[in-house]
Amino acid sequence: MTVGRTYASEWREYMDPLTHRRVRQLTNSTAEDYHLYFYNPSITPDGKYLIFISERTGVSNLFRMDLQHGEIVQMTDARPARAEYWPFTEAIKGVGSCLPAIGNRGQEVFYFEGNDLFAVEIESLKQRSLLSLPADRRPSMLQANPSGDILVFATWDESLFMERSQRAYSGEHFPDEHFFQETTSTIMRVEAETGQAEEVLRKENFWINHVHVNPQNHDLILFCHEYSPSPDRMWLLDVANEKCAPVPSQGADEWYEHEFWSADGQRICFHGGLAHDNTKGFCGWCSPDGTDYTKAYHSTSGRAYAHYNLHSDGTTMVTDGEARPGCISKVHLQNGRQEFEILCRHDSYTFGDDQRCHPHPSFTPDGTQVIFTSNRTGSSNIYLTDWN
């Protein structure tokens, strides 16, 4: 199973039974195939290739798919290094699960094998090494600015997460949320071309995750206080001015998830709900200084899990759950309410399932189609449907 191995197109099309819209299944593997984490584009800026992770080789590797013909090419031949994104995935080996990102003007994919950060050229498949983290640090998911010249990610205590993950994989009850706050977290910023890296933040007894560099200012970094018992999920780091604090006005009776920057860098987008009422949810955005929040609400039958993404029109979102569980839905935000337009069913995952089968909807570069993952066939595969 080597770099450059090709697979014939696995495409098949069907009509969604609920909406009668066309859906194209892009991969058809009995292993796990899934696209990049949803706030990282999975399709190259020119629209030519889909970049995805597959375990069809026995370990997880990166692959590219020609979106004109469907041909698949293996991009990496990873060693069997620890690759799980615990506690969000099962124990797997190879390329770090859910961690890669497209960068360097869309010419390379950046990824971890264990603690080593690599880049692979999408066309030539040439690999280069950028850096190796100390053995006591565990990397989290990568994220790049739009040009792809700056990468950011968090690191956690390797020994702490390794010890608890091994116990969890052996069947021990999932640890309580207080455990995760025992870690020391850092934020790393890396120049994609040179591999020059700097630690821009270190916090003791604090679990940092979902690190995002501002699209217009690489000194402004958004991150989350993961599993925080306090109303301070969304944080902002201003490297240049040495400021780090929660985004103001996150309500004590609210929870927030899956925060990310809008394309212009002027808004922090999110979804969430009310802590005292699991039938009320919201999505929307706020200004980075927390002085202006825009929220659109919906009613749901109970606490549901979802991922929201913002369309390039800047006003419409897509989601894979919440008030329409089991569906990929267009979300119109009108007069403080969410109006759901179902695009198709995904019929994948429930709360707490492995990240690799979460639909994680994201858009093609031109915004005309939606990419998502589903395990509706028994293993995770990647799908595509039209936005309009």
Lowest mean pLDDT segment, chosen from 7-16, 323-332, 375-384: 323-332
Residue 301 reports pLDDT greater than 80: no
CA nearest to 258, candidates 139, 362, 151: 362
pLDDT attached to residue 222: 98
Averaged confidence pLDDT in the chain: 94
| Spatial distance between the Cα atoms of 213 and 207, rounded to a whole number of angstroms | 18
How many angstroms separate the most distant Cα atoms in the chain? 54
CB–CB of 346/25 below 8 Å? no
pLDDT attached to residue 325: 76
| Spatial distance between the Cα atoms of 211 and 233, rounded to a whole number of angstroms | 12
Q: What does the chain come to in residues?
A: 388
DSSP 42-79: SB-TTS-EEEEEE-TTSSBEEEEEETTT--EEE-----
* 80-132 pLDDT per residue, tens: 999 999 999 999 999 999 999 999 999 999 999 999 999 999 999 999 999 99
pLDDT attached to residue 305: 67
pLDDT attached to residue 125: 98
R_g over Cα of the chain: 20
| Spatial distance between the Cα atoms of 118 and 90, rounded to a whole number of angstroms | 23
Domain spans of the chain, in order of start: 6-386
**Is this prediction's pTM over 0.75?**
yes
| Spatial distance between the Cα atoms of 373 and 228, rounded to a whole number of angstroms | 28
Determine phi and psi for 37, rounding to 5 degrees: -55, 145
| Spatial distance between the Cα atoms of 253 and 230, rounded to a whole number of angstroms | 10
| Tokens found for residue 373 | 């993952």
* Partners of 342 in beta bridges: 329
Residue 352 reports pLDDT greater than 80: no
Looking at the domain covering 6-386, what would its CATH class be? mainly beta
* 313-342 pLDDT per residue, tens: 999 999 998 667 789 999 999 999 999 999
pLDDT attached to residue 351: 63
* 246-285 pLDDT per residue, tens: 999 999 999 999 999 999 999 999 999 998 888 899 999 9
| Spatial distance between the Cα atoms of 23 and 36, rounded to a whole number of angstroms | 19
